[in-house]
């Protein structure tokens, strides 16, 4: 079935105009001031949607999610069915998931496993960042193959989680040298695994075991040092790097200073750091465990640095670091030791409305920045543009018809993720996706999934630099 969207106001990272959009064969085929449905050859097999009073955005892209995540003795509780439904209800049509193998796992086997969990179940398009936790000769061959033959044009490194995901400096340098050769982006969790492990041990020994001690165990200095460390290696190797879930003023400054030296570095913020602060993780009776994530929630003053960075475009993207763990069955594993609380503050379904409400409506960012940060920049940085991330003839027909005046309350009851809590329970938000399409097929309406599981495809990405 073809699709005609009429009377909408199209907003991209660069443009703002009113026009009709005709979609056929999974792509945007025509964009014109007025398209008469009766003139189309497939008029008998055409869905027409009136977008009067609505904004039409390119499908949103979340550049940082965890769906299949073995972590801290448990596994994230979403699968591609629940994650797809949650994403689509929130207007997200493409996910970039982190493949996170263990230190003894082969990269090729991990890639096959993660891809198999998405194939036949995903209702959104998807791709991956390939985490590198080993770099022996076998791993090097397989990583090269994954980048060159499977279209996975980004690696992921952890400068955190000692003994689980972290990588040695020797291997980091070699990996970044390979990434430069292949035109692959290196995404990085920037902290310092050794410092964190030492500070956590000290706090636990002092009897400071609650979730409120998670942030003091990995302060802003540690994150800023991680960004500086990554950027120094990027400067030496010429690699392009991307700092994920950047949470604080010091870390943003470290990236900006490196950029002024000519380092190819980009910065990601995530929705929880933009709207939540460390007092949430300090809630009594272990409620703070719902908000334990890494890097942790910070003092409220850091939020304005992040919003200012988005407005100036010093910060390129907004993701979620969606890592869903149930409060009662999983977060409770760390009730007597905050280092055992599975890290994650899920926001996959809520991201777009949160950013529209607290960013656009409050005047912190404009609509173009909103689209750029939540869609276009991710497509450009990770080799999907202009297939994804914009509204133009020839692009995939991933579209969000967005009602800017709709108002709703965020609750666990309306969440489509497999969770037993909502981190934003009772929050009022404005702006809601009315219709969401993936390659021309309607997949969600008014927060309800109405599409087809298994429709999602692995996106074949291109290298963005050499």
- DSSP for residue 273: H
283 and 240 assigned to the same domain: yes
Q: pLDDT tens-digit profile of 363-388?
A: 999 999 999 999 999 999 999 999 99
Distance (Å, whole) CA 146 – CA 416: 32
The answer to the question of residue 253 being in a domain is: yes
Interatomic CA distance for residues 455 and 118, integer angstroms = 10
Same domain, 186 and 294: yes
pLDDT of res. 248:
98
Are both 243 and 342 inside the same structural domain?
Answer: yes
Are 52 and 70 members of one domain?
no
Give a yes or no: residue 150 inside a domain: yes
Query: Which residue stretches of the chain have pLDDT < 50?
Result: none
Q: What's the structural domain count of the chain?
A: 2
Q: Is 209 part of any domain?
A: yes
Q: What is the pLDDT of residues 4-35, one digit of tens each?
A: 999 999 999 999 999 999 999 999 999 999 99
User: What is this structure's pTM?
Assistant: 0.97
Does 260 fall in a domain?
Answer: yes
Are 305 and 445 in the same domain?
Answer: no
Instruction: Decide if 388 is inside a domain.
Output: no
From CA 420, how far away is CA 329, in angstroms rounded?
Answer: 9
| 3-class SS letters over 130-188 | EECCCCCHHHHHHHHHHHHHCCCCEEEEECCCCCCCECCHHHHHHHHHHHHHHCCEEEE
Please state, in angstroms and rounded to a whole number, the distance separating the CA atoms of residues 25 and 41: 13
Instruction: Supply the pLDDT for residue 164.
Output: 65
Residues 199 and 147 in one domain: yes
317 lies in a domain? yes
Same domain as 63, residue 52: no
Angstrom distance (rounded) from CA 439 to CA 394: 11
Q: Which phi and psi (to 5°) does residue 435 adopt? A: -140, 135
Q: In CATH, what number is assigned to the domain containing residue 10?
A: 2.30.40.10
Tokens (6 digits) for 416: 């489509």
Whether 296 and 197 share a structural domain: yes
The reported pLDDT for the residue numbered 165 is: 62
Same domain membership, residue 358 and residue 267: yes
pLDDT of residue 121: 97
CATH number for the domain spanning 114: value is 3.20.20.140
Q: Tokens 């920045």 label which residue?
A: 369
Residues 49 and 106 in one domain: no
Question: Looking at the structure, do residues 403 and 333 belong to the same domain, yes or no?
Answer: no
Query: Does any domain span residue 463?
Result: no
Inside any domain, residue 461: no
Q: Which residue has the tokens 């409620």?
A: 287
Its domain, for residue 83, covers 58-381
Whole-number pLDDT of residue 161: 72
Residue-wise pLDDT tens digits, 116-170? 999 999 999 999 999 999 999 999 999 999 999 999 999 999 887 765 667 889 9
Q: Where are the alpha helices (DSSP H) in 247-366?
A: 249-260, 271-275, 301-312, 351-355
DSSP 395: S
| In a shared domain, residues 234 and 131 | yes
- Residue 1's pLDDT is 83
Determine the pLDDT at residue 43.
65
């Amino acid at each position: 079935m073809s699709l005609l969207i009429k009377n909408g106001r199209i907003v991209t990272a660069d443009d703002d105009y009113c026009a009709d959009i005709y979609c056929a064969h999974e792509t945007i085929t025509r964009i014109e001031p007025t398209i008469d449905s009766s003139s189309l050859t497939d008029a008998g097999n055409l869905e027409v949607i009136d977008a009067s009073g609505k904004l039409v955005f390119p499908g949103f892209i979340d550049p940082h999610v965890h769906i299949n995540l073995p972590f801290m003795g448990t596994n994230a509780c979403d699968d591609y069915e629940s994650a797809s439904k949650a994403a689509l209800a929130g207007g997200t049509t493409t996910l970039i998931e982190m493949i996170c193998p263990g230190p003894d796992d082969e990269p090729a086997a991990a890639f096959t496993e993660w891809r198999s969990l998405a194939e036949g179940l995903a209702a959104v398009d998807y791709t991956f960042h390939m985490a590198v936790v080993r770099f022996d000769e076998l791993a090097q061959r397989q990583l090269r193959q994954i980048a060159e033959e499977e279209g996975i044009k980004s690696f992921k490194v952890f400068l955190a989680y000692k003994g689980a995901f972290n990588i040695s400096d020797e291997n980091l340098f070699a990996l970044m040298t390979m990434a430069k050769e292949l035109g692959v982006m290196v995404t990085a969790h920037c902290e310092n695994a050794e410092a964190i492990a030492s500070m956590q041990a000290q706090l636990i020994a002092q009897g400071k075991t609650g979730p409120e001690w998670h942030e003091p165990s990995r302060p802003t200095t540690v994150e800023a040092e991680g960004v500086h460390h990554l950027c120094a290696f990027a400067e030496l190797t010429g690699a392009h790097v991307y700092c994920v879930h950047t949470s604080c003023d010091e870390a943003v400054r470290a990236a900006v200073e490196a950029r002024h030296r000519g380092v190819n570095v980009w910065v990601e913020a995530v929705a929880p750091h933009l709207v939540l602060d460390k007092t949430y993780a300090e809630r009594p009776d272990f409620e703070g465990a719902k908000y334990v994530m890494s890097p942790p929630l910070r003092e409220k003053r850091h939020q304005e640095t992040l919003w200012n960075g988005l407005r100036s475009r010093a910060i390129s993207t907004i993701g979620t670091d969606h890592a869903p763990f149930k409060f009662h069955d999983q977060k409770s594993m760390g009730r007597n030791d905050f280092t055992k609380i599975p890290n994650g503050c899920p926001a996959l379904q809520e991201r777009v409305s949160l950013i529209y409400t607290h960013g656009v409506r409050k005047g912190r960012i404009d609509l173009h920045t909103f689209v750029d940060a939540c869609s276009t920049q991710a497509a450009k940085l990770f080799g999907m543009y202009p297939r994804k991330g914009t509204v133009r003839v020839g692009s995939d027909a991933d579209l969000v018809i967005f009602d800017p005046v709709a108002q709703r309350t965020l609750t666990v009851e309306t969440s489509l993720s497999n969770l037993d809590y909502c981190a934003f329970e009772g929050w009022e938000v404005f702006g809601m996706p009315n219709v969401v399409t993936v390659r021309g097929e309607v997949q969600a309406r008014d927060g309800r999934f109405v599409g087809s599981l298994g429709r999602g495809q692995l996106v074949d990405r291109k290298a963005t630099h050499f």
